[in-house]
Amino acid sequence: MNILMVSSECVPFVKTGGLADVVGTLPKYLKKNGHDVRIIIPKYSVIDGVKYNLKTLPYRLAVRLGKEEIYFRIKQGFLDENIPVYFIENMRFFDRSGVYGDDNGIGYGDNRERYIFFCKAVIESIKAMLFVPDIIHCNDWHTGLIPAYLKITNAYDGFFWKTSAIYTIHNIAFQGSFDAATSVPLAGFSWEDYKSDKLEFYNTFNFMKAGIVYTDIVSTVSPTYAKEIQAGFGNGMEVVLKTRKSDIYGILNGIDYSYWNPETDNNLAANYSKQNIENKILCRKDLIEICNFENGNNSFVLSCVSRFDNQKGFDLIIDAINRIQNTNIKFIILGSGDRYIRDTLLYLQNKYPETVKIFNKYDENLAHKIYAGSDAFLMPSHFEPCGLSQLIALAYGTIPIVNKTGGLADTIYDFDKSKTPNGFVFDLYSGESFVEKIKYAYKIFNDKTAWKNLQNNAIKCSFTWDKSVKEYEKIYNIALKRKINSTIYR
């Protein structure tokens, strides 16, 4: 199959969250299974063209944004040396210090223009390169217009005679909803297309709705989240999802175990493995030193590596820091984003210097040290489509403490409720339940045998892409078959 993966981010080139991990990993498994898979993302200036040896392709292309012609180039690099990655280059839209917004978490005012441009440029680029996809796999709101272009403006374009679209929702909280009066003409649609069963969404122009309505198959990143978004956690999109009920699939993300591997990870003070976890303690010692905590070597180290966003349950983390005053329990948090969360955490660090350490930044190397050096990982998310951080924590034998929602419910098995537990799960979203679970985990931590068993279960968990890639192949095939049938009858 010819597969084009379209996304706004992809590791190792650019990452703000788990979307990048998924888009940079799933294609490797598709490639292994014999598909011609390629990736296309914007060429943000944060992507280092020299480091990744990007070459400019000889195409001279333009798309129309309203009445304006926007010219662009395509750069090409490779993922794993054999998966072509195309970068849409236009400095007006992508030469910024951030990806979606500035350092204070404020989104860029022209994100609508940036991603209308990107969606249109993707269509023009593959036509110029003569890459005819069987599947265009779109991800999140930034790519939502592509299925709509395929079915509306390019419906009779012979180039796409065999192309189907898959639309994966990684987070329904971000939909790309904009003023309709200006967006419809800007994106090149007609008012005929702006009807309630088409592009219109509560009087707005909504990228995600376009993706859901016009794609062939909708997927999301865990079975539980697939149910949740249709039943009250869909941020208003429930009515739209209802119309696609039989076309919605929940496919759990995996992680890249060749990258997240304590045995070979060279960011760590010491390596350890499933067979011998002893050296994990040296990683904790290193982390305690990095945090400048005194006498912390035997303490219970709780960590969190995350975007600062209400989604991630920071109200509960803040509550827990305030309530748990035990010098033997440390909180180490690495993240960036929302300014209120950032300032409150920094305030707590000042208030409790012996137990709280906040790193306000994005830091891949430090993230590895934290996953390895801590005992438990806090993820009390309000909602969580899949979550990769809890899976990474497991890979490092670090025990997740999570709220029972979305992908967390699908991957973390509670200490008291499962025969092979790998974490602690609370099911009422409240400070009380969270603090209780932390205290309970601390009790188990002090029972060395019980904790060791838990660590062994955790580090042995395997959420690989091998299984999920087959599920993606299944939905690609469903989309393909439908396309072939509809082409025959046309």
Q: By Cβ distance, which residue is nearest to ligand GLC?
A: 18
| CA–CA separation, 155 and 248 (whole Å) | 23
To ligand GLC, the closest distance from the beta carbon of 386 in angstroms equals 4
Could you say which of ligand ADP, ligand GLC, none residue 166 binds, taking C-beta under 5 to 8 angstroms by partner kind? none
Check binding of 143 to ligand ADP (CB under 6 A): no
| CA–CA separation, 7 and 166 (whole Å) | 12
To ligand ADP, the closest distance from the beta carbon of 478 in angstroms equals 26
Residue of the chain from 363, 414, 436, 473 that contacts ligand ADP (CB under 6 A): 363
Kindly list the distances between the CA atom of residue 122 and the CA atoms of 132, 178, 185, in Å, as whole numbers in the listed order: 12, 21, 19
Residue of the chain from 52, 108, 352, 362 that contacts ligand ADP (CB under 6 A): 362
Kindly list the distances between the CA atom of residue 373 and the CA atoms of 255, 270, 291, 380, in Å, as whole numbers in the listed order: 19, 10, 11, 20
To ligand ADP, the closest distance from the beta carbon of 219 in angstroms equals 15
Tokens 């981010």 — which residue? 9
| CA–CA separation, 266 and 261 (whole Å) | 9
To ligand ADP, the closest distance from the beta carbon of 175 in angstroms equals 15
Nearest alpha carbon to residue 237 among 179, 277, 182, 177:
177
Q: Which is nearer to ligand GLC, 397 or 407 (CB)?
A: 407
To ligand ADP, the closest distance from the beta carbon of 178 in angstroms equals 22
Stretch that binds ligand ADP, among 15-23, 56-64, 98-106, 109-117 (CB under 6 A): 15-23
Could you say which of ligand GLC, ligand ADP, none residue 367 binds, taking C-beta under 5 to 8 angstroms by partner kind? ligand ADP
Q: Kindly state the tokens that stand for 334.
A: 């690495």
To ligand GLC, the closest distance from the beta carbon of 380 in angstroms equals 14
Q: Which is nearer to ligand GLC, 19 or 61 (CB)?
A: 19
Q: Which is nearer to ligand ADP, 84 or 223 (CB)?
A: 223
Q: Which is nearer to ligand GLC, 125 or 219 (CB)?
A: 219
Check binding of 17 to ligand ADP (CB under 6 A): yes
Q: Is 236 left (phi over 0), alpha (psi -120 to 50) or beta?
A: left
Check binding of 140 to ligand ADP (CB under 6 A): no
Could you say which of ligand GLC, ligand ADP, none residue 410 binds, taking C-beta under 5 to 8 angstroms by partner kind? none
Q: What is the DSSP letter of 414?
A: B
Kindly list the distances between the CA atom of residue 443 and the CA atoms of 292, 295, 446, 451, in Å, as whole numbers in the listed order: 25, 20, 5, 10
Kindly list the distances between the CA atom of residue 61 and the CA atoms of 113, 143, 294, 438, in Å, as whole numbers in the listed order: 17, 19, 59, 56
Could you say which of ligand ADP, ligand GLC, none residue 335 binds, taking C-beta under 5 to 8 angstroms by partner kind? ligand ADP
Check binding of 103 to ligand ADP (CB under 6 A): no
Q: Which residues pair with 256 in a beta bridge?
A: none
Let me know the angle formed at the C-alpha of 277 by 457 and 317, rounded to the nearest 5 degrees: 65
Could you say which of ligand GLC, ligand ADP, none residue 306 binds, taking C-beta under 5 to 8 angstroms by partner kind? ligand ADP
To ligand GLC, the closest distance from the beta carbon of 253 in angstroms equals 5
Beta strand extents in 80-151 (DSSP E only): 83-89, 135-139
Check binding of 18 to ligand ADP (CB under 6 A): yes
Q: Which is nearer to ligand ADP, 76 or 311 (CB)?
A: 311
324-353: which residues touch ligand ADP (CB under 6 A)?
334-336
Residue of the chain from 21, 193, 247, 338 that contacts ligand ADP (CB under 6 A): 21
The type of residue at 423 is: G
Q: Are 10 and 158 in contact (CB under 8 A)?
A: no
Pair type for strands 376-379 and 399-403: parallel
Stretch that binds ligand ADP, among 26-34, 175-183, 357-365, 438-446 (CB under 6 A): 357-365
| CA–CA separation, 49 and 62 (whole Å) | 22
Q: Are 406 and 228 in contact (CB under 8 A)?
A: yes
Residues 445, 448, 453, 459, CA torsion sign = positive
384-403: which residues touch ligand ADP (CB under 6 A)?
386-389, 392
Cα-only R_g, the chain: 23
Q: Which is nearer to ligand GLC, 4 or 221 (CB)?
A: 221
| Residues 300-329 as x/- pattern, contact with ligand ADP by CB under 6 A | -----xxx----------------------
Neighbours of 55 (CB within 10 A): 12
Q: What is the DSSP letter of 472?
A: H
Give the contacts of 148 (CB within 8 A, at least 6 positions apart).
Answer: 189, 193, 199, 210, 211, 213, 214
Residues that bind ligand GLC (CB under 6 A): 17-19, 22, 170-171, 221, 253, 384-388, 407
To ligand GLC, the closest distance from the beta carbon of 408 in angstroms equals 9
Count of residues that interact with ligand ADP, criterion CB under 6 A: 19
Could you say which of ligand GLC, ligand ADP, none residue 221 binds, taking C-beta under 5 to 8 angstroms by partner kind? ligand GLC
Could you say which of ligand ADP, ligand GLC, none residue 305 binds, taking C-beta under 5 to 8 angstroms by partner kind? ligand ADP
To ligand GLC, the closest distance from the beta carbon of 460 in angstroms equals 21
Torsion of CA 328, 387, 345, 260, to 10 degrees: 60
Q: Kindly state the tokens that stand for 196.
A: 């309630």
Contacts to ligand ADP by CB under 6 A: 17-19, 21, 305-307, 334-336, 362-364, 367, 386-389, 392
